[in-house]
Amino acid sequence: MASESQAIVAQVTDLTDSDSLQDLSTRLRAEPQSIDILVHSAGMITHAPIRSSDVDDLDRMMRVNLRGAYCITQELLPQLIENAGDIVFVNSLVTQFPRAMSGQYAATKHALIGFANSLREEVNDLGVRVLSIYPGKTATPGQERLCREAGEPYRPEFMLDPQDVAEMLVGALKLPRRAEVTEIRMRPSAKPPGKQ
């Protein structure tokens, strides 16, 4: 889709900081190109047992995984409505398959589902499509870090490639406007020996 678009704008911001979020929204609204697609792909994860997890980590994950997406969407929604655009939330399969040590992360991602689903009900009649995509383990630097922290081998051959997720997302967005994909669940097809 990027090759068909007039402009892809990448911006850097601190999603935990309200002033940075406001600055990002101001910069995006000042771009000469209109905003047609908004993809929320930022995320933060820490693993810890609930009985001893740091609540400050939960607060940071709420700000990155939910509040940042909420604030940016709210700021850019007028343009997205005007352009009959698309909003994409990159979520996680942890919402369907809970794991020990990921309670805080799972809670923030469940909250993101509630936001995305409510948003869809508000903006569908205004021509805006809302898609949530739930990838399983994906071969990213973040996944490599999690494997290292858990003392597990990093085996990208048993993970999705980020390109797989991007191609699925682009395919959904290329559908005619009369069609809307609301959810996509993806997981690696190859499993490590001994895993279901």
66 phi and psi angles, rounded to 5 deg: -125, -60
Give alpha helix (H) positions in the chain.
Answer: 18-30, 55-62, 68-82, 103-123, 141-150, 162-173
Q: Which residues are designated catalytic?
A: 105, 109
| DSSP letter, residue 52 | G
- Using DSSP's 3-state secondary structure scheme, residue 86 falls into strand
Rounded to the nearest 5°, which phi and psi values hold at 87? -125, 130
Cα 119 to Cα 132: distance, rounded to the nearest angstrom: 11
Separate counts of helices (H) and strands (E) for the chain? 6, 4
Closest to 68 (Cα-Cα) out of 16, 130, 9, 112:
16
| Cα(46)–Cα(57) distance, integer angstroms | 7
Name the token pair of 133: 């995509």
Query: How crowded is residue 122: how many other Cβ atoms within 10 Å of its Cβ?
Result: 12
